[in-house]
Structure 1
Amino acid sequence: MGKGGRVLCIITPYVLTIASLICLIMVGLGCTNSSSGSLNNLYFFRANLQNVTESSEVQSGVDQALDKLGQANIHVDDGDIKTALEQVQKQLGVTVADYYDIGLWGYCQGNITKDNKYDTSKCSKPKTEFWFNPMEVWNLEQTGLQNALPDGMDKALDVYKKVSKWMSVAYIIAFVATVIELVVGVFAICSRWGSCVTTLISVVAFLFTAAASATSTALFVVILGLFNEKLKPFGIVGSIGKNIYAASWLAVAFSLAAALFWLLSTCCCSGRSPYNHKNRAGPRPVTAEKTPYTYEPLGPYDNNQANTSYPPLPPQSRHNNAYEPFRHA
């Protein structure tokens, strides 16, 4: 099969590795560009605050006047996140967005139009080990309303913060390992040893891609249940994205398939020619070699021909030609 067959054997896992890398890139680009509608649809979790923002806009003229004079009696009960967000808008004049989408490296926010379309206004700057801190994003710390979150949310946020850091690291390792897999995969064309090394790297890429995908899925599913349990009574609803999980798990599938095909390439398609001689059209010629110290017959002895090299036959043996001289090879 030779080098050509070796190249064909490597193409399949190489293409699968590229597909896995593209999916990982899509996961990383989610919620990083406010002007891109396709990238804005790549989010792990969405917090919908539309009911809170609509109710905060309905404010009596007396309340507005008191707010301007600084005479408003601000009091928020523990766990009353809805009232706390309304007070944030009154005190700071900061408009709380209708929704917040959480990605891998940052979040995006925007408003929901009358025809129920999500219009993204801005996205945060991407950073590693990102986690969405509602106390900071919703300005609850700045207004001294740290007690606004319901019971149990503080512990849940602490767990989310720690797990999200591991999730970010896992995605980074998966991305780097996949890139290295592509680079080393070029050398797999030359020999099975190259395939062996590439297979080991592909296994690492697959394990971290699977770990990152499983972590993100489990993490935000748990947050979704707790979020809706604690905050839905106040008009804040959470939901899970679909596109980013599809991209992440497709990366896992492509990475697994690539690892299997890399392993297969170590067992076949060596790249060496089956013949090492110049004549490749026919079968390999077989050469015979004489064995040393053997004798060959000279043929029947002719009594009429003089032979100066050997003595003549004895008289008693000239008629039956029983004597046949041999020569040394």
Structure 2
Amino acid sequence: MGKLARFACIFTPMVLSLLTLICLLIVFTGGIETKDTQFQSLYHYQIDLSEFKGKVQNNTYMVQGAKLVDNFLYPLKMSAKNGDLKDFYNVYLWDYCSGNDGKLDHCSPRQAKYFFNPIVEWNLNNTLAQEKYVPEAINKPMQAFQKGTQWLFVVYVIAFISNAAAIVIGMFAICSRLGSCITTIVACVSTFFTLAAAISSTVLFGTLVGAWKAALTPYEIQVHLGPRVFALDWLAVAFSLVATLFWSFSTCCVSGKSNKKSMPSGEKGFPASNIISTGVGKHSYQQLDDQEQLLAHQQQHAHRDIEMQDTAYAGGSGPYKGRESAYEPMRHQA
């Protein structure tokens, strides 16, 4: 395979691995305090309290539901009146950001294994007399998600590191088949953890948002998933999967050993039966095919018989004296 084709065979999966890494990096950058709305929209889920706050401030909120809902509604209304509630909360992988009138004005410190606790962030623990008043539909999913964030953070980090390692090691894949095999193994690991991160993120955030949406809708509070970040997660999975397939194909593009050059005719390694003297010049040899070789041997044999007979009849002391019946398949003339 030519060098250009070999380079293309290695370059293609490397670009795909780089695209996977970029998708994961964009997911990691979500929650950075910036004026760019594109990065602001990379949240895993959003809680919108603007409608609830508007009704509380205008005294138009009608209390409906059981006593449990009324008990939880009171601290919510108090937090809204005290200015502790923002219009919306965007929850990211590392932190959350909040704001009013569609503009972010605060982002929490970024930390590993982060989870959003509305009881704390909405300052409900100051006015909520007893924790039992928190609806189970809000509390249970939050506790389950808190445990799941540990696994979620680990798989995201491993997916990012393994994809970066596949790119670095892939630079050596063009040199040898061993490098290509090692890169394929690393790419398989990166694909596994990228897929695990996408599945875990979709299941954990989807379950949490589904439970909170059902629980908070009676309070005129809207909760919904962020479509862009999940699209990036699964796009990273697609890039990583195709990259792994191409890395496995690259093992066929790289030769396991170098090809040996053909030795010139007459040197060691060629059968002596295929070489015959031409009798012209020093070390003059020529490789013949089977028919030409047979004809040449017959002519040489007939020529030697005539010489040996002439020498024997003459009683001389020629070079073939005493060796009239000898056969010499090779003859070298200096």
2:106 aligns with 122
Question: 1:135: Cα distance to partner?
Answer: 1.2
Decide which of 289, 292, 309 is 2:272's aligned counterpart: 289
**Displacement, 1:86?**
2.2
Deviates more, 1:245-254 or 1:118-127: 118-127
Give the match's secondary structure for 1:267. helix
Number of aligned residue pairs: 290
Maintained 8 Å contact 2:174/2:254: no
Q: Distance in 1 between matches of 2:319 and 2:11?
A: 74
Partner of 2:24: 24
1:153, 1:46 → 2: CA distance?
15
Q: 1:194 to 1:312 in 2, by over 3 A?
A: closer
Separation in structure 1 between the aligned mates of residue 3 and residue 256 of structure 2, nearest angstrom: 5
Give the secondary structure class of the aligned counterpart of 1:132: coil
For residues 39-188 of structure 1, the aligned pairs below 5 Å read 39-58=39-58, 78-80=68-70, 81-90=72-81, 93-112=82-101, 118-145=102-129, 146-188=131-173
Contact 1:131 1:164 in 2 (8 A): yes
Where in structure 2 are there 5+ consecutive unaligned residues? 61-66, 275-299
Q: Which amino acid aligns with 1:246?
A: A
Q: In the alignment, what sits opposite 1:299?
A: 305
Distance 1:327 1:219, change over 3 A: closer
Maintained 8 Å contact 1:2/1:272: no
**How far has the Cα of 1:305 moved from its partner?**
5.4
Distance 1:266 1:128, change over 3 A: same
Residues 141, 207 of structure 2: 8 Å contact kept? no
Shift, 1:311, TM fit: 8.7
Once residues 321 and 211 of structure 2 are traced to their aligned partners in structure 1, the CA distance between those partners, rounded to angstroms, is 119
* 1:141 partner SS: coil
Residue of structure 1 aligned with 2:317, choices 288, 295, 308: 308
Pairwise CA RMSD of aligned residues?
A: 3.1
Q: Which residue of 2 aligns with 1:12?
A: 12
SS of corresponding position for 1:100: strand
Gaps of 5+ in 1: 61-76, 113-117, 280-284, 314-322
TM (normalized to structure 2)? 0.77
Higher RCO (CA 8 Å, separation ≥ 6 residues): 1
- Kept in 1: contact 2:44–2:90 (CA 8 A): yes
Match of 2:237 in 1: 252
Alignment match, 2:64: none
Q: Give the C-alpha shift of residue 83 in structure 1.
A: 2.7
**Is contact 1:129–1:164 with CA below 8 Å preserved after alignment?**
yes
Could you tell me how far apart the structure 2 residues matched to 1:22 and 1:210 are? 15
Q: Would you say the 8 A contact 2:75–2:128 is kept in 1?
A: no
* Mapped partners of 2:225, 2:263: distance in 1: 65
**CA deviation after TM superposition for structure 1 residue 289, in Å:** 1.8
2:23–2:235 CA contact under 8 A, matched in 1: yes
Q: Give the superposition deviation at 1:259.
A: 0.8
Separation of aligned partners in 1, 2:26 and 2:165: 18
Partner letter of residue 108 of structure 1? C
Q: Which letter maps to 1:194? A: G
Deviation string, structure 1 residues 265-315 (Cα, Å, up to 9, x no partner)? 123332755453488xxxxx9844269xxxx742303267563137989xx
Counterpart residue number, 2:285: none
Q: 1:197 maps to which residue?
A: 182
Instruction: For residue 253 of structure 2, give the secondary structure of its aligned residue in structure 1.
Output: coil
* Cα distance in 1 for residues equivalent to 2:7 and 2:47: 49
Please list the CA deviations of residues 21-59 of structure 1 after superposition, one character each: whole Å capped at 9, or x if unmatched.
000001111122242211111111111111221123236
SS of match in other structure, 1:326: coil
How far off its partner does 1:244 sit? 0.4
Question: Secondary structure, in 3 states, of the residue corresponding to 1:212?
Answer: helix
Instruction: Please state which structure has a larger fraction of its residues in helix.
Output: 2
- The one-letter code of the counterpart of 2:90 is D
Matching of residues 245-284 of structure 1 within 5 Å: 245-270=230-255, 274-277=259-262
Pair 234,311 (structure 1): closer, same or farther in 2 beyond 3 Å? closer
Q: Once the two structures are superposed, what CA deviation does each residue of 1:250-277 show, in whole Å capped at 9, x if it has no partner?
A: 0000001111111111233327554534
Residue 164 of structure 1 and its aligned partner are, at CA, apart by 1.8
Higher mean Cα deviation, 185-194 or 217-226? Answer: 217-226
